[in-house]
Homo-oligomer: A and B are copies of this chain.
Amino acid sequence: MMPVTHEMNNFEMPECDGDVLTVKDLHFSYPDGHAALHGVSFNLCSGDKVALVGPNGAGKSTLMLHLNGILGGHGEVEVAGKCLTRDNLPAIRAMVGLVFQNPDDQLFSPTVFEDVAFGPLHMGLPEADVCARVNAALEAVRMSAYRDRLSHHLSVGEKKRIAIATVLSMNPSLLILDEPSAGLDPRARRTLINLLRELPITMLVSTHDMKLVEELFPRTIIMDEGQIVADGLTHEILEDEKLLTAHGLEKP
Binding site for B on A (CB under 8 A): 55-57, 155-157, 182-188, 190, 208, 210, 248-250
A-B CB contact pairs (8 Å), 24 listed: A55-B185, A55-B186, A55-B187, A56-B155, A56-B156, A56-B157, A56-B185, A56-B187, A56-B188, A57-B155, A182-B182, A182-B183, A183-B183, A184-B208, A185-B208, A185-B248, A186-B208, A186-B210, A186-B248, A186-B249, A186-B250, A187-B248, A187-B249, A190-B250
Residues of B within 8 A of A208 (CB): 184-186
Other 13 A-B pairs with CB < 8 A, given A55-B186, A183-B183, A190-B250: A55-B187, A56-B157, A56-B185, A56-B188, A57-B155, A182-B182, A182-B183, A184-B208, A186-B208, A186-B210, A186-B248, A187-B248, A187-B249
Interface of A is mostly: loop
Nearest residue in B to A244 (C-beta to C-beta)?
B186
Q: How many copies does the complex hold?
A: 2
For the complex, what is the distance from the CA of A185 to the CA of B55, rounded to whole Å? 6
Task: Return A250 CB to nearest CB of chain B, in Å.
Answer: 4
Residues of B within 8 A of A157 (CB): 56
Residues of B within 8 A of A185 (CB): 55-56, 208, 248
Residues of B within 8 A of A55 (CB): 185-187
Residues of B within 8 A of A182 (CB): 182-183
Task: Return A132 CB to nearest CB of chain B, in Å.
Answer: 32
Residues of B within 8 A of A155 (CB): 56-57
Residues of B within 8 A of A183 (CB): 182-183
For the complex, what is the distance from the CA of A156 to the CA of B182, rounded to whole Å? 13
For the complex, what is the distance from the CA of A190 to the CA of B208, rounded to whole Å? 13
Residues of B within 8 A of A249 (CB): 186-187
For the complex, what is the distance from the CA of A186 to the CA of B57, rounded to whole Å? 12
Nearest residue in B to A184 (C-beta to C-beta)?
B208
